[in-house]
Amino acid sequence: MHDSTKFIFLIVSLNIIGFMYTDVIIKATNLICAPSPKYFINHSCRLKPVNRYKSVAFMETYIRNQLRNVYVNIGLYARNDVNTYNPFLINFTQNICWYLGNRRFGTYMKVFMDIMAQYTNINHSCPYEGVIIAKNLFFGGNSMSALFPKGYYKCIFIFYEGYPLDYIGRVEYYAELYEVKKMRKKN
Ligand SMILES: *[C@@H]1O[C@H](CO)[C@@H](O)[C@H](O)[C@H]1NC(C)=O
Ligand SMILES: *[C@@H]1O[C@H](CO)[C@@H](O)[C@H](O)[C@H]1NC(C)=O
Ligand SMILES: *[C@@H]1O[C@H](CO)[C@@H](O)[C@H](O)[C@H]1NC(C)=O
C-alpha cells in the first residue's frame, strides 16, 4: 500500500473499532515506613499488586499518646541513568492540622490531602489518637503527572510533631511513571 493510503486505512479502521488514547500510569514499586517508636506502638506497611498497572498501599500504625500538631515535609526525587535519586521540583513543609482547618494551600498539598481524605482515616481535624490506617492507597495519574517526565521517582514524606519540630516518622514511596497507549472501544 502507498503510505498515505495506509494512513487513511488506519484512520478509517480506528473509527470503526475505537480510538487510541494515552494513559499516564503511576505504579508503586516499593514502600518503606519508619515510624518512630517514641510516638507509635507498632506498624504494618505493604504494597499489594492489583494488576500490571497498579499496586496499592496498606499502612497501619497505633499512636502511643496523641498527635496534636502534625507537619509533613514532602520531597520528590527523580532517578537518573546511574540509579541515583536527585531532588526534583517538590520539597515543601506544611502543617496538616492547619490544612484541615480549611486554610487554602498549594496544588501539591491539595493532591496529598485529597489522597489522605480518600484512602486514610486522617480526614478529620487534629488531634489524632489510636489507629492511623491507609487502605488501597495509590496515586493515580492526573493532569499534573501527565506533565512529568517518564521514569522512576521516589517521594519521601517526613512527619513531625511541633512546634519545635520533633521527628515522628517517615514514609518512602517508590513509583514508576510511564505512558500506555490504549484503545477506547466504540459504544
Ligand atoms: C497495634 O496495637 C494495637 C493496640 O494494641 C492493636 O489494636 C493493633 O491491632 C496493632 N496493629 C498492628 C499493625 O500490629
Ligand atoms: C527537603 O530538602 C531539605 C534540604 O535540602 C532536606 O534536608 C530534606 O530531607 C528534604 N525533604 C525530603 C522530604 O526529602
Ligand atoms: C473520613 O473517614 C471516615 C472513616 O474512614 C469515613 O467514614 C468518612 O466518610 C470520611 N470522610 C470524608 C470527608 O472523606
What's the CATH code of the domain at 57? 2.70.220
Tell me the β-bridge partners of 56. 48
R_g (Cα) of the chain, nearest Å: 21
What's residue 29's pLDDT?
96
When divided into structural domains, the chain yields a total of: 1
Q: Spell out which residues line ligand 3, taking CB within 6 angstroms.
A: 117, 121, 123
Average pLDDT for runs of 10 along the chain of length 187: 61 63 90 97 97 95 95 96 96 86 76 90 90 94 80 97 95 94 71
Q: Supply the range of the domain harboring residue 107.
A: 20-183
Cβ-contact 63, 129 below 8 angstroms: yes
12 domain-assigned: no
What is the position in ligand 1's atom list of the atom closest to the CA of 61? 13
Nearest CA to ligand 2 atom 1: 91
What's residue 74's pLDDT?
96
3 domain-assigned: no
Question: CA nearest 86: which of 153, 170, 172?
Answer: 153
Ligand 1 mean position to 159 CA, how many Å?
20
